[in-house]
Amino acid sequence: SRKLAVVLDLDHTLIHTTGIDSPPQNTEDLEKHVVHYVTIDERVKIQDKQVFVKKHFLVKKRPFLDQFLNDNAELFQFSIYTAGTRLYAEAIAKLIDPTGKLFGGRIVSRSDVANDTKMGLEKSLHRIFLGDASMALIVDDREDVWQGEQGEQLILVRPFSHFKGAVEVNNAA
pLDDT in tens, the chain (173 residues): 678 999 999 999 999 999 999 999 888 888 888 999 999 998 888 888 888 899 999 999 999 999 999 999 999 999 999 999 999 999 999 999 999 999 999 999 988 887 666 666 789 998 888 778 888 999 999 999 999 999 999 999 999 999 988 878 876 54
pTM over 0.85: yes
Q: Is 116 a catalytic residue?
A: no
Q: Where are the alpha helices (DSSP H) in 4-116?
A: 27-32, 65-72, 86-96
Q: How far apart are CA 16 and CA 141, in angstroms?
A: 12
167 secondary structure, DSSP code: P
Backbone angles phi, psi at 79, to 5 degrees: -135, 155
Asked if residue 9 lies in contact with residue 142, where contact means CB atoms within 8 angstroms, the answer is yes
User: Which of 9, 97, 140, 141 does the annotation list as catalytic?
Assistant: 9
Q: Is 66 a catalytic residue?
A: no
Instruction: Report which of 94, 122, 121 is spatially closest to residue 107, judged by C-alpha positions.
Output: 94
User: Which of 11, 97, 140, 141 does the annotation list as catalytic?
Assistant: 11
